[in-house]
Amino acid sequence: MQVKLASSYGFCFGVKRAIKIAQEHKNSATMGPLIHNQKEINRLKEDYGVGIYDSIDEVKKDDTVIIRTHGIPKNDLATLKQKDANIINATCPFVTTPQKIVKKMSEDKYSIVIFGDKKHPEVKAVKSYGDDVHVVLDDNELENIIFKYKKIATVAQTTRKKEDYLKIVNNLILKYKEVRVFNTICNATFENQAATRDLSKEVEVMIIIGGKNSSNTKQLFNIACENCPSSYLIEDEKELQLNWFDNKNLCGVTAGASTPDWIIQKVIDKIQEI
């Protein structure tokens, strides 16, 4: 089986930075999962003693606490600081940008529309910095929103598809006189999505590697499915099934932004054995 890697895949800048921070602070703990990849979190625990706090109540004075790449809500951060803990902020800089935008636009009396998943930790953190903030995944959801202000500002979850964001933006500018649009989808997301789209058009089977709860990985999977019906989302080589590759010769491989190289290589090695 011939394997072809996407031209852009795997760890983004923010994840690489967070992993490096965690490795530099042995026997610390992250506030929630550092990234959306359980196997990498397990490695950090085994090799560096980096644990996870499920609740701020678990934090004690002088503990070293690492803020996850997705950030945490503003009030949680304030509570954490009251604990007199040693706080290390590993929030991705591309995530802190929409936090700052929402804060500034709210101060300027704009209602905020966030394009993203309201259950995602990144979105929860960004939302906490505003006043009249509404989270939508589909432009149809805008119909039922009553905005507090006449001016609207929009940001997007960093890992969403820009095409879907445009639908939200177009809906707003047709109805409101003043709409501020901030493109907060990060470059790494653009590059990985474009590379996945290109590769899925030329291969017979597509393997997307990443956490099942990772937003950006699921986006890659959806993009691959548009062009390659035989696309599969897996977390490691153990999930590969032989029948996926029946009568196929060329397999494309890509990976989400939280997927480490060592997992990707194991998957490639397994596919090449087929």
- Give the pLDDT confidence score for residue 12 in this predicted structure: 87
Same domain, 166 and 207: no
The CATH number of residue 19's host domain is 3.40.50.11270
Q: Active site includes 122?
A: yes
Residue 212: which H helix or E strand, with range?
A: none
Same domain, 28 and 76: yes
Amino acid occupying residue 243 = N
- Give the pLDDT confidence score for residue 199 in this predicted structure: 98
What 3-state class would DSSP assign to 112?
Answer: strand
Same domain, 265 and 197: yes
- Give the pLDDT confidence score for residue 5 in this predicted structure: 97
Same domain, 125 and 141: yes
What average pLDDT does the segment 167-190 reach?
A: 94
pLDDT in tens, 95-121: 999 999 999 999 999 999 999 999 999
What average pLDDT does the segment 51-58 reach?
A: 95
pLDDT in tens, 193-233: 999 999 999 999 999 999 888 888 999 999 999 999 999 99
Query: How many distinct structural domains can be found in the chain?
Result: 3
- Give the pLDDT confidence score for residue 187 in this predicted structure: 84
Nearest to 238 by CA among 267, 258, 210: 267
Tokens found for residue 62: 């002088």
Same domain, 165 and 228: no
Find the DSSP H helices in the chain. 13-24, 38-48, 74-81, 93-107, 121-127, 162-173, 187-200, 215-227, 261-273
pLDDT in tens, 243-255: 999 999 999 999 9
Is residue 123 within 8 A of residue 71, CB to CB? The reply is: no
> Is residue 65's pLDDT more than 90?
yes
- Where a domain ends, among 70, 91, 112? 91
Same domain, 172 and 207: no
Same domain, 102 and 168: yes
pTM over 0.85: no
- Where a domain ends, among 30, 60, 91? 91
Alpha carbon distance 160, 117 (integer Å) = 9
Same domain, 192 and 262: yes
- Give the pLDDT confidence score for residue 240 in this predicted structure: 97
Amino acid occupying residue 108 = D
Same domain, 107 and 83: no
Amino acid occupying residue 116 = G
Q: Cβ–Cβ contacts within 10 Å for residue 105, how many?
A: 24
Name residues whose C-beta falls within 8 Å of residue 198's C-beta, 6 or more positions apart in sequence. 6, 7
Alpha carbon distance 140, 115 (integer Å) = 12
From the candidates 24, 107, 122, 178, give the one annotated as an active-site residue. Answer: 122
Same domain, 171 and 192: no
Alpha carbon distance 11, 64 (integer Å) = 24
**Cβ neighbourhood burial of 190 (10 Å; 0-12, 13-18, 19+):** middle
Is residue 115 within 8 A of residue 136, CB to CB? The reply is: yes
Same domain, 113 and 167: yes
Alpha carbon distance 191, 194 (integer Å) = 5
- Where a domain ends, among 91, 123, 139? 91
**Helix-helix angle 187-200:215-227, to 10 degrees:** 30
Tokens 């060329």 belong to which residue? 250
Largest CA distance in the chain: 61
Alpha carbon distance 258, 236 (integer Å) = 13
Same domain, 146 and 196: no
Domain enclosing residue 225, as ranges: 2-9+187-273
Alpha carbon distance 121, 30 (integer Å) = 14
What 3-state class would DSSP assign to 87?
Answer: strand
The CATH number of residue 252's host domain is 3.40.1010.20
Nearest to 188 by CA among 128, 255, 262, 127: 255
